[in-house]
């Protein structure tokens, strides 16, 4: 799901169940956290020091915002004090090359010019009728976030190749698909994209169906934020007839997830992203105000301009919450979350196989989606690394929905690698929602206006 999020949606903070890794970590490990001002830092650091046996190590914090870097350092020290982990140390620097030396794992949560550009990403497209709820992985907002962020990420990966080529890069930064696609095309660094939408959505389904989560069986595949639960059963019985009945007959159930449940009625399957985010990946729900009014709710349920309006406030609130945790006004909770990062580290260190869902290159994994592009599928993690699992084919209508977005990602990734305005503009022309609303001339004009507004953060593009 979109990251980082401070309030209104805290699925990434939920406690993890017993996930089955049996052995303990035994060696000193070094984890580098790029973008330590991210709201993910507190939960992911607590996760790492909660790994059984991980009693010694280093968390190297990196952020170019020195004030937020210091807040994260102080919070990290408080977490270690609360946990009684004397074998761990915190280091903090604005020099990522210094931090990367000796790294075993790198958690990437960088943000490039988010507060300065978030309004341009939202407000200029809105003048052309392109209404976004989140707008940081797809659409005009997602494209321009990629144009700002991917070139910086590729520079980071050059440092990884040079300084710590054996380290795994665990990417949490959006736009996930474009970030990972560009990384795999332009770098030899080992990168996997991590999101909590599969975990969150599977729990949502269990809640809507009224079945115990641990008893539900499912299979999922597609692309990040547009992966589909193609099999969904409880005690051998298909859950979709029950979910469809509830979505079509129970207004209270529909209101909990209005876009995803409505789409399920027509496409027969449930998707892995919140209603608001999901509505941006399709041409159906946001192209007219009456459709937005009918299908979209508040906040993450599809509110217009939600991310642009809330993101700057979330950053301030995140910093204030850190200050309260550091001062002791708020209590530090050490529970391990269901985020994948710490389980990946544990599985690699212990050689105990563990399953995640990751964004990886499609090397025949989903047979009816574009190869040399990215997919989100189950992956097995152990001492050998991260091995994606073969999925097979998606139902053709679901593959078509994913493919429409993959063509946009394809051009966007190459635009970022080559710093090409022309490829970036053509990528926006292929975006499903933008194309449903605007003519080609309008898209070109919109693109040029956003580019001009954000050109300070787009060096080298021509």
Detail the DSSP E strand segments found in 85-179.
88-93, 105-108, 168-171
Contact call for residues 34 and 106 (beta carbons, < 8 A): yes
Rounded CA-CA distance 326/335 in Å is: 17
Helix (H), strand (E) counts: the chain: 18, 13
Both tokens assigned to 65: 């915002």
d(CA 116, CA 311): 11
Reading the block at residue 123, the tokens are: 């407000």
Contact 12, 40 (CB under 8 A): yes
**Looking at 28-143, which runs of residues are DSSP E strands?**
29-34, 57-62, 88-93, 105-108
How is residue 372 written in tokens?
């040399």
Q: Could you tell me the two tokens for 409?
A: 């990602």
The residues annotated as belonging to the active site are: 196
CA distance 255 to 208: 11
Measured between alpha carbons, how far is 349 from 48 in angstroms, rounded to an integer? 12
Q: Please, which residues bridge with residue 270 across strands? A: 229
* C-alpha span between 213 and 199 (Å, rounded): 11
Residue 310, both tokens: 């809330």
């Amino acid at each position: 799901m979109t990251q980082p999020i401070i309030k209104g949606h805290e699925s990434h903070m939920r406690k993890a169940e017993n996930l089955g890794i049996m052995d303990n970590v035994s060696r000193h490990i070094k984890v580098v956290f790029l973008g330590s001002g991210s709201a993910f830092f507190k939960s992911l650091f607590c996760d790492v020091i909660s790994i059984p046996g991980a009693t010694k190590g280093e968390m190297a914090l990196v952020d170019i915002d020195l004030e937020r870097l210091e807040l994260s350092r102080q919070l990290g020290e408080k977490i270690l004090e609360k946990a009684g982990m004397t074998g761990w140390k915190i280091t903090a620097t604005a020099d990522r090359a210094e931090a990367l030396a000796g790294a075993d794992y790198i958690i990437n949560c960088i943000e490039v010019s988010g507060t300065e550009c978030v309004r341009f990403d939202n407000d200029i497209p809105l003048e052309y009728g392109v209404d976004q709820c989140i707008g940081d992985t797809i659409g005009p907002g997602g494209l321009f976030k990629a144009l700002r962020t991917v070139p910086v990420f590729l520079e980071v990966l050059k440092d990884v190749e040079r300084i710590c080529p054996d380290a795994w890069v665990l990417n949490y930064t959006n736009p996930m698909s474009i970030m990972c696609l560009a990384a795999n095309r332009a770098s030899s660094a080992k990168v996997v994209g991590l999101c909590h939408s599969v975990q969150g959505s599977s729990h949502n389904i269990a809640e809507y169906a009224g079945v115990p989560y641990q008893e539900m069986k499912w299979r999922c595949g597609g692309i990040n934020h547009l992966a589909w639960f193609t099999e969904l059963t409880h005690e051998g019985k298909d859950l979709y007839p029950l979910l469809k009945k509830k979505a079509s007959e129970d207004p209270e159930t529909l209101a909990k997830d209005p876009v995803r449940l409505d789409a399920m009625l027509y496409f027969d399957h449930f998707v892995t992203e919140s209603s608001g985010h999901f509505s941006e990946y399709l041409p159906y729900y946001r192209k007219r105000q009456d459709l937005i009014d009918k299908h979209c709710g508040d906040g993450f349920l599809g509110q217009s301009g939600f991310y642009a309006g809330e993101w700057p406030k979330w950053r301030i609130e995140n910093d204030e919450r850190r200050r309260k945790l550091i001062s002791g006004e708020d209590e530090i909770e050490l529970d391990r979350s269901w985020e994948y990062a710490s389980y990946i580290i544990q599985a690699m260190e212990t050689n105990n196989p563990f399953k995640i869902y990751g964004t990886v290159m499609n090397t025949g994994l989903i047979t009816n989606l574009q190869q040399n592009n990215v997919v989100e599928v189950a992956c097995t993690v152990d001492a050998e690394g991260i091995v994606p699992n073969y999925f097979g084919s998606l139902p053709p209508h679901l593959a078509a929905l994913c493919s429409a977005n993959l063509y946009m990602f394809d051009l966007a990734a190459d635009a970022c690698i080559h710093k090409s305005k022309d490829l970036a503009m053509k990528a926006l022309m292929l975006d499903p929602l933008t194309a449903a609303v605007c003519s080609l001339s309008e898209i070109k004009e919109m693109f040029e206006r956003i580019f001009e507004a954000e050109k300070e953060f787009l060096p080298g593009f021509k």
